[in-house]
Structure 1
Amino acid sequence: MGKLWAVPAAIALLAAAGGGYYLYQSRVEVERQSTLYGNVDIRDVSLAFRVSGRLASVLVDEGDSVQPGQILARLDAEPLRNSLNAALANEAALAARNALMHKGNRSEDIEQARSRLEAAKAAVAQTESDYKRQRDLVPAGGSSQQLLETARSLRDQAIAQRDAAQQQLKELTVGFRPEEIAESDAQLKQARASAASAKLALKDANLQAPSAGIILTRAVEAGSMVQAGTPAFNLSLRHPVWVRAYVTESQLGRFASGSKVQVSTDSHPDKTYHGVVGFVSPTAEFTPKSVETADLRTSLVYRIRVVVSDADASLNQGMPVILRLVP
Structure 2
Amino acid sequence: MTFNPNEHQHLRYNPLKDEWVLVSPHRALRPWTGQTEKPAVEKVPRFDPSNPLCPGVIRASGIQTPKYESTYVFTNDFPALLEEGPEPEHSDDPLFQTRAAKGTCRVICYHPHSDVYFTNLSLGQVVDIIREWINQTRELGKRFVWVQLFENRGAMMGCSNPHPHCQIWASSFLPNEPRIKELNLRKYYDKHGRPMLQDYVKRELQNKERIVIENEEWIVVVPYWAVWPFETMVLPKRQIQRFTDADGAQIETLAKTLQTLVAKYDNIFKCNFPYSMGWHGAPTGEKLKENQAHWTFHGLYYPPLLRSASVKKFMVGYEMLAQSQRDLTAEKAAAVLREQPDLRFE
Structure 1-normalised TM-score?
A: 0.18
Q: Which has the higher strand share?
A: 1
Q: Which has the higher helix share?
A: 1
Higher relative contact order (CA 8 A, sep 6+): 1
Q: Which has the larger radius of gyration?
A: 1
Structure 2-normalised TM-score?
A: 0.18
